Structure 1
């Protein structure tokens, strides 16, 4: 073997909460000396040393030559990401590493889901990642998303689940109740109620009134 590798001693752990699901990585320096190693193999070794499941895309190519500086694990990962034009995303179970040219941009149709409901679900499920784009697009019920393949796949799955759930809800038919037409016809001391065009039996009032017609408000409008 033409490499020497060793994992440093980790004294404490930092939890990354800004990006997707929380990814717990040691804050102590990650010591990893590589003489000449394939980039994918180095990333897999990184996951093994930290006991993190890692999926490296076949599009991740390159070789690491020479010793990497001792950095905290997160900075080590970001250094490789920047040097080799990579993207990473953690879904809570697996750390996915892909080439930047695998990033996808899509225009998703949200109907019948609102953007706020979609975004709130992504946040609640720890799918949201501020590094990758999720924003309303011009148009009716559209959202523009962009990011690595695993991130986009989770957005698709979440949206499909929300739409399917919304479609199973019973849509209560809202029937408009016909308005009841009520008129009161005053003739002297006699009052006649005309309900929906049909007069009811008149009744008398002790106080005499001038002839007049009063339209009563329909039920629910009072």
Structure 2
């Protein structure tokens, strides 16, 4: 009885720690044991089947290599995933839609220039979008102008996209006229014999006649800045 109570307490502590650590998108997995019987199977195929059985979209990198040989113990799905991650030197990241699994050697490290964004604004955005994950690094350098980020490819891609979005927003605030400037319209002059037609932004406008014949099928492009 005491042994059972100890196991229950340990599981409870494990779950609590997992909730505290997971700042990224929540990967909701059932707590019931995941029974998976295999004698010899490709690791990538086993991970895809793991996603299929739990109705989770899984993206497995082509760099994930290896085979599962021997019976896997019945574990809760998250522990099953962590076991494979540790045994085969993998990393996983869930972006809220897809579970990305990559080899550890695919991890990337980058120095990111923050200007004109502050680190606090950058980190707040990562947290708000559920991108942050305490397993992976987002660390400011002295001076608040550089950030070191390290993690699997999908995590790094989302960090980069967030920074680009913040920079674009900051530039729009500094120069709203540039953000509201309408795109340059497209104007075409289509000549057919002695007549011509103006096509503006894909829509025909007016017909013109000329005594000077033009060769059929010739199209001349003009812009609004041309006269």
- Both proteins in one fold, TM over 0.5: yes
2:93 paired residue among 84, 89, 96:
89
Counterpart residue number, 1:74: 78
Task: Please show how residues 1-222 of structure 1 align to structure 2 within 5 Å.
Answer: 17=19, 18-139=22-143, 141-170=145-174
Q: Runs ≥4 in structure 1, deviation > 3 angstroms?
A: 14-17
- Counterpart of 1:23 in 2: which secondary structure? coil
5+ residue gaps in structure 1? Answer: 1-13, 173-222
Q: Which has the higher helix share?
A: 2
Q: Distance in 1 between matches of 2:85 and 2:109?
A: 20
* Contact in 2 for aligned 1:135/1:145 (Cα 8 Å): yes
Per-residue deviation, residues 1-52 of structure 1 (Å, max 9, x unmatched): xxxxxxxxxxxxx896514101100111000001110000000000000000
Instruction: Give the TM-score normalised by structure 2.
Output: 0.67
Higher strand share: 1
Calculate the TM-score normalised by the size of structure 1: 0.69
Q: Is the 8 A contact 1:19 1:131 kept in 2?
A: no
Secondary structure of 1:55 counterpart:
strand
Q: Secondary structure at the match of 1:135?
A: strand
Distance 1:109 1:170 in 2: 19
For residue 137 of structure 1, report the CA deviation from its aligned partner.
1.3
**Residue 118 of structure 2 contacts residue 144 of structure 2 at CA under 8 Å; is this kept in 1?**
no
1:81 deviation in Å?
0.1
